[in-house]
Structure 1
C-alpha cells in the first residue's frame, strides 16, 4: 500500500512539474521579443515617396510594439512576382507578404500556404472597411488578406500644353483621336507609355476594351465568350493609335520610369496609368504641379462602356503565411499597416482609401479628392493581368507588347487571346 502511495506521489510531482514548465513557457512567449519578416513591392529608395510612407508606418509600429518588430525586404514589381512565386515553391514565405487580389492570388490560396484570417478579425474591422474591399481577396467564403489602398486607372491631361497649343480637351473618343493627330502635327508627344515594362501597354489596351464592350462584355470575353469581338476591336483601336504615332518610338522602347520623366517634365500631353502617380504630380518639387487634371478616359459613341466604369479596384493586399509562428501578431500588424497606409496614401496621392476616411481633407492631394468624387458611383473591372492570373496575365502582356512592336496583327492577337480559355 505504501508503495502505491509513493508511486502516486511521484506521478503527482512530475505532473506538477510539467504544469510549471508549461506555464513558464506561455508566460515567456508573451514577453519574448519576436521579429515578423515582411515583403512588399515599394522599393526602399530615398526619393520614392510611396516607400517613405510605408517605411514611416512600419517604423511607427515598431516604436509602438517593442516586443513585435517588423523587418522589411522590398523588391520592384515584376521582380517581386518571381520572388514570391519562388518562395511559394520552396516553402520560404515570410510572415507577412504583399500580393495582388483576384486570380493572381488564387493559386497561392489553393496551395494552402496563405492564412485565412477570419477568426483573427473582430467585427469592427468589417465596419472600418469601405464596401467591396474584400471581394478580390475572399476565396471559398474565407478572407485571406486586408486591403492597402484602392487603385483606379486614371487619365491625366496636361492642361498647360492644351492651352499653349490651343487644342480642346477631348470629351469623346473621336475628339481624342483628333487631339492625338493635332499634337503630333505640332511636334508634341500625345501619349506616354514605357512599354518595356509591358504592363504599361496593357493599361491602354484594357481601357480601350472596357470602353468598347463595357464591364459585362469584357468579363464575358475573358470567360471565353467573345461574341462581340471585343479582343479584335480593342486591338484595332490600339493599332490605330500606334499607327498615327500617338506614342513616341523612344518611349515604346523605354522602361516606365525612364519614359515617365518626360511627362513629369511637361513634355507629353496625355497619360493613362494608375492613380498612384497623383502624389508625385502634386509634390512641391514637381514641374507639373497644378498643371494636370484627371479625367475619365474618353467614351466611344459606338461602344457599350460608360463614364462610371473604371479599370482597377481593390487589388493591393497584405497576407499572412500559414507557416508563421506568430499568426495573431502578424494579423494585427497588417491591420495597422493597411489602415494607416490607406489614409496616408490617399492624403499624399498614391491611392484612394480602401478603409473609411473620416478625417479633415484639408491636407489631401487635390487630384485624389477629384478622383474620389469622380469615382464615387464607379463600377470596376480589375486590370486584366490581375484578373487573368499570373500565367494568362503574362501571356496577355506579351501579346499587347507584340502589338506595340507591330509583330502581330489584330486578328492574330484576338485568336491568341481566345486560346487563353481553351
Structure 2
C-alpha cells in the first residue's frame, strides 16, 4: 500500500514538473515585439512644457508615415518641468508599454539611466547609417562613460559678440578683427559716451565664456585639453586670455559695476542701443535681430595672435553632452528606433531652420534640401561655414562638460574677477582648484 502511494506521488510530481519550471522562469520570459496589424509600433515621448518642440512635432505622425510605412508611431507629450518629466519617464520605463524613444535635456538624468543600463549606446547604430555625414563635426560628443547615448536634436549655441551695425556705421568705427583693433574700437566708443561691450557679470558665466572665447583663438582645443588634464587654466593660453579681458576692464570697456548686471540686463543695454557690442551666445541672435530691427550682426572674438595671420574665426560652445533623443534598452528594434530618432531630429531642425529662422543648425546644410527663411543673414552664413569645418569649434566647458558644483564655482570666481576682487593669477588658480572638486 505504501509503495503504491509513493508511485502515485512520483507520477503527480512528474506531471507537475513542467508547470513548476514554467513558473520559476516566468520572470525571464522575453516579451515579443509589439505588433499592430503587421506593423512594428514605436512609442516616442517628448516634453509638453517645451513649447517649441510641442509646436514642431504637432504634425509629425502624419509626416513620418510615408517615410516609415511599416511602422506605427505614436508620439506622447508628457507634462511637467524637468524633474517631473524625468520622474514620469522612469515610471513609464517600468510599465507594460515603455517608450522606445524619449527626450532628455538633463545630462544627469541620462547618466543615471546609462549607469542602470536602461538606455542603449548608439555610436555603432549611428555610424552604420552614416549619421555623422549629416551633421557638423562638433555634434559628435562622447559621454563620460565612453559612449554616445543621445541623438542630438537641440540647437548648438556658440559664444560670440553681437554688434549694433547702426552704431558702428553712424560713428564710422571699423569692425575689429584683431585684439589690438578691438581695443581701438573700445576707445572710440568710450569717447562718444557709448558703452563699448555689454556683458552680464552677476552670475559670472558670461565672463568665463568671454575668457574661454579669447583662449580658443590661440588654441581651438584648449578646453578639451583642460578637461583631459593635458593643460590647465593657469597655463599660457588661458593666462593670455584672462590678461586680455583685464586690459578691457582697464579701458572701461564694460558698464560700471558689471558684476551687478545679469545677462538679461546686459542684453537690454545692447537692445536699447546704449552699447555697441554684446558678449553673449548665438541663442540671443534672433531676439537681438527683432529688438534692433535687423541692425545686428555676429562678430567672432578677435584673435589674440599678433603674427598678422588672417582671423581663424574659432568659436567656443557646441552641442550639450548627453542631451537629445535616447533609445530605451527595452526596445526590440534598436536599429529601427535609431533611424526614427534621427528622422525626428532632422524634422525638428528643419522646422527651426525654415520656420523659426534659426540658421545655426547642427546639420550640415550642404547635405540638406531645406528652404532657408527670409530673415537677413546677420553674418550667420560665415558662422555656418566655420562651424561645419573640423577644428573650428572649441568645446564649451559649460555645455554640460562639468558638474553643477564645478560650474557654480567657476561662476563665483569669474564674478569676483570682473569685479576686481581677484588678480589674474589668483583667478586662474581658483579655476584649477575648481577642476579638482568632485
User: Could you tell me which residue of structure 2 aligns to residue 209 of structure 1?
Assistant: 215
User: Could you tell me which residue of structure 2 aligns to residue 172 of structure 1?
Assistant: 178
Residue number among 381, 389, 396 corresponding to 1:369 in the alignment: 381
Using the alignment, how far apart are the partners of 1:93 and 1:413 within structure 2? Answer: 46
User: 3-state DSSP class of the match of 2:301?
Assistant: coil
Using the alignment, how far apart are the partners of 1:249 and 1:117 within structure 2? Answer: 49
Structure 1 stretches of 5 or more lacking a match? Answer: 45-50
Per the TM alignment, residue 389 of structure 1 is displaced from its structure 2 partner at its CA by 1.2
Is residue 2:270 matched to residue 1:263? yes
User: Could you tell me which residue of structure 1 aligns to residue 363 of structure 2?
Assistant: 355
Using the alignment, how far apart are the partners of 2:80 and 2:263 within structure 1? Answer: 19
Superposed counterparts of 1:21-420, under 5 Å: 26-27=34-35, 36-39=44-47, 44=50, 51-52=51-52, 54-61=53-60, 68-73=74-79, 83=83, 96-99=102-105, 109-110=114-115, 112-117=117-122, 123-124=128-129, 126=131, 129-132=134-137, 134-137=139-142, 142-148=147-153, 149-211=155-217, 213-222=218-227, 223=229, 225-226=231-232, 228-249=235-256, 252-282=259-289, 286-302=290-306, 307-315=312-320, 317-320=323-326, 322=328, 331=338, 334-347=341-354, 348-350=356-358, 352-357=360-365, 358-359=368-369, 361-363=371-373, 365=375, 366-367=377-378, 368-377=380-389, 379-386=392-399, 388-390=401-403, 391-420=405-434
Using the alignment, how far apart are the partners of 1:109 and 1:252 within structure 2? Answer: 39
Question: CA offsets, 1:286-318, max 9 Å, x none?
Answer: 242331222321112448995142212333731
Using the alignment, how far apart are the partners of 1:122 and 1:234 within structure 2? Answer: 37
Distance 1:184 1:306, change over 3 A: same
Using the alignment, how far apart are the partners of 1:333 and 1:73 within structure 2? Answer: 23
Using the alignment, how far apart are the partners of 1:356 and 1:166 within structure 2? Answer: 36
Shifted more, 320-329 versus 64-73: the winner is 320-329
CA-based RMSD of the aligned residues comes to 4.6
Distance 1:230 1:332, change over 3 A: same
Using the alignment, how far apart are the partners of 1:200 and 1:334 within structure 2? Answer: 33
Q: Does the CA-based 8 Å contact 1:224-1:421 persist in structure 2? A: no
Shifted more, 363-372 versus 183-192: the winner is 363-372
Distance 1:308 1:318, change over 3 A: same
Shifted more, 399-408 versus 321-330: the winner is 321-330
Shifted more, 31-40 versus 125-134: the winner is 31-40
User: 3-state DSSP class of the match of 1:195?
Assistant: coil
Distance 1:23 1:299, change over 3 A: closer
User: 3-state DSSP class of the match of 1:270?
Assistant: strand
- TM value normalised by structure 1: 0.73
Using the alignment, how far apart are the partners of 1:114 and 1:191 within structure 2? Answer: 44
Kindly indicate which of the two structures has a greater share of residues assigned to helix. 1
Shifted more, 345-354 versus 316-325: the winner is 316-325
User: In the comparison of the two structures, how many residue pairs are matched?
Assistant: 392
User: 3-state DSSP class of the match of 2:398?
Assistant: helix
Per the TM alignment, residue 206 of structure 1 is displaced from its structure 2 partner at its CA by 0.8
Using the alignment, how far apart are the partners of 2:299 and 2:245 within structure 1? Answer: 20
Q: Does the CA-based 8 Å contact 2:224-2:395 persist in structure 1? A: no
Per the TM alignment, residue 141 of structure 1 is displaced from its structure 2 partner at its CA by 6.0
Q: Does the CA-based 8 Å contact 2:207-2:415 persist in structure 1? A: yes
Using the alignment, how far apart are the partners of 1:233 and 1:415 within structure 2? Answer: 14
Structure 2 stretches of 5 or more lacking a match? Answer: 1-10, 65-71, 94-98
- TM value normalised by structure 2: 0.71
Q: Does the CA-based 8 Å contact 2:44-2:73 persist in structure 1? A: no
Per the TM alignment, residue 361 of structure 1 is displaced from its structure 2 partner at its CA by 4.6
Q: Does the CA-based 8 Å contact 1:193-1:252 persist in structure 2? A: no
Distance 1:333 1:414, change over 3 A: same
Larger radius of gyration: 2
Using the alignment, how far apart are the partners of 1:352 and 1:250 within structure 2? Answer: 33
Q: Does the CA-based 8 Å contact 1:315-1:382 persist in structure 2? A: no
